[in-house]
DNA sequence: TCAAACCTGGATATGTTTTGTCCAGTAAGG
DNA sequence: CCTTACTGGACAAAACATATCCAGGTTTGA
């Protein structure tokens, strides 16, 4: 059960975009974002497209174009980023094994209720999501050591 | 980020083993457990071995042998089962991308602290684990519709 | 005007993990 | 001593994550 590493990329990129916005350097081209952390450009672009489809970022085509946050960093949470990259599916997928084998003869209505396993898994994932939703991109930006933001802006604005 | 379906199998199997124990039918051979939910025997055996290595179950070789819970179902949590099947790794794996690209020149001590992303992810996974640890196999067994346990025991004890 | 710089989406390739099977070895019971 | 059972390792297929490429579009500024 490993999470896509695109989630880490996307989170860091969102922080960069927030800093760029603050410095008036938005939008930032994807090539520059990739260079900032030495990531494979073409693949990072895929993740950026996922962020765009989820409404977290918007992109400007053409020369002087690039990507920017679609709303203030304080209103983009880690949960949003994870959902955008990982997709909407829960980690735990029910396959209804309880209906097979010794229970194959039972009528379908015997299984109308999800069983305790599914319920507990669902609760646990909700707790996880709530925790992720408690941290925003602005929080992440604020918790980085002083001076790092200015350096990043300098790098993103460089020719 | 999909969870192994072996987790679902293992959870249900633990409930079965608990019922078997109550009925005095332990240990139960793996073939019987696989038949109970129509699972591929050889692959289920792999999951059972993982449960055994994690100390959740113990197995008895030889004729009249099989698998049984290694401790009372009330003291085996869903968290134990997930950890046994999924392994000890966190879902979110840090790859330290912040050290590359624009930060490649910085000394290593600048990155002694894990960044905010890693911290938030860690907190969220802890919340998930706490939630999973709140449900035991005995809880799951108790929440199944009446009569189901007796039917299961009948099936497991059958020739 | 038009070429350069930028994004989009789909096709494709490669590597890793999950899922599933098989077999040779070992242990216990009757 | 033969049947039933577990163990561990090797192996194959399928699914998924990672990565690259290309053939379109947009906008800007020379
Ligand atoms: S509901 Fe319970 S039984 Fe049905 S699939 Fe989910 S976990 Fe397995
Ligand atoms: S610590 Fe922060 S930067 Fe380093 S890898 Fe984990 S997330 Fe990425």
Q: What is the pLDDT of residues B84-135, one digit of tens each?
A: 999 999 999 989 999 999 999 999 888 888 899 999 999 999 999 999 999 9
Q: What is the pLDDT of residue B26?
A: 81
Mean pLDDT of chain B: 95
Please report which confidence band the pLDDT of residue B153 belongs to, taking 50, 70 and 90 as the band edges.
Answer: very high
Q: What is the spatial distance between Cα A16 and Cα A141, in angstroms, rounded to a whole number? A: 8
Query: Distance from residue A138 (CA) to nucleotide D26 (C1'), in Å?
Result: 31
Read off the DSSP letter of residue A3.
P
* Domains defined for chain A, CATH in brackets: 5-157 (1.10.10.10)
Q: Which nucleotide is nearest to B65 (CA to C1')?
A: D5
Task: Examine the pLDDT at A159 and tell me if it is beyond 70.
Answer: no
pTM over 0.85: yes
Task: Examine the pLDDT at A112 and tell me if it is beyond 90.
Answer: no
Please report which confidence band the pLDDT of residue B158 belongs to, taking 50, 70 and 90 as the band edges.
Answer: confident
Q: What is the spatial distance between Cα A84 and Cα A51, in angstroms, rounded to a whole number? A: 6
Q: What is the pLDDT of residue B141?
A: 96
Q: How many whole angstroms from B118 Cα to the centroid of ligand 1?
A: 32
Contact B120 A104 (CB under 8 A): no
Query: Distance from residue B146 (CA) to nucleotide C28 (C1'), in Å?
Result: 36
Task: Examine the pLDDT at B159 and tell me if it is beyond 80.
Answer: no
Q: What is the pLDDT of residue B114?
A: 87
Tell me if B120 CB under 6 Å of ligand 2.
Answer: no
- Residue-wise pLDDT tens digits, B8-21: 999 999 999 999 99
Q: What is the spatial distance between Cα A18 and Cα A22, in angstroms, rounded to a whole number? A: 6
- What is the distance in angstroms between the Cα of A117 and the nearest Cα belonging to chain B? 7
Contact A91 B155 (CB under 8 A): no
Residue B157 token pair = 């004890």
Nucleotides of C under 7 A from a protein CB: 3-10, 17-23, 26-30
Task: Examine the pLDDT at A72 and tell me if it is beyond 70.
Answer: yes
B17-76 residues near strand C (Cβ < 7 Å): 40-43, 45-46, 60-65
Q: Select from A8, A116, A128 the Cβ nearest to the Cβ of B95.
A: A8
**For helices A6-22 and A78-86, angle between their N-to-C axes, nearest 10 degrees:** 130
Q: What is the pLDDT of residue B44?
A: 98
Is residue A83 within 8 A of residue A132, CB to CB? The reply is no
Angle at B5 between CA B64 and CA A103, to 5 degrees: 60
Is residue A68 within 8 A of residue A137, CB to CB? The reply is no
Helix or strand or coil: residue A8? helix
Task: Examine the pLDDT at A26 and tell me if it is beyond 90.
Answer: no
- Residue-wise pLDDT tens digits, B8-62: 999 999 999 999 999 999 899 999 999 999 999 999 999 999 999 999 999 999 9
Q: What is the spatial distance between Cα A127 and Cα A13, in angstroms, rounded to a whole number? A: 25
Q: Which of the residue ranges A4-8, B62-66, B145-149 would you say has the lowest mean pLDDT? A: B145-149
């Amino acid at each position: 059960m490993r999470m896509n590493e695109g989630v880490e990329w996307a989170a860091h990129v969102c922080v960069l975009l927030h800093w760029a916005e603050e410095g008036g350097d938005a939008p930032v081209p994807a090539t520059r974002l990739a260079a900032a952390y030495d990531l494979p450009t073409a693949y990072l672009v895929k993740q950026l497209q996922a962020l765009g489809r989820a409404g977290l970022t918007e992109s400007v085509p053409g020369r002087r174009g690039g990507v920017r946050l679609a709303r203030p960093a304080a209103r983009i949470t880690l949960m949003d980023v994870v959902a955008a990259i990982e997709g909407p599916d829960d980690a735990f997928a029910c396959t209804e094994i309880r209906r097979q084998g010794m229970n194959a003869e039972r009528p379908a209505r015997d299984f109308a209720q999800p069983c305790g396993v599914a319920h507990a898994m669902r609760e646990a994932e909700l707790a996880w999501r709530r925790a992720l939703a408690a941290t925003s991109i602005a929080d992440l930006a604020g918790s980085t050591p002083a001076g790092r933001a200015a350096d990043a802006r300098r790098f993103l604005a460089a020719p």
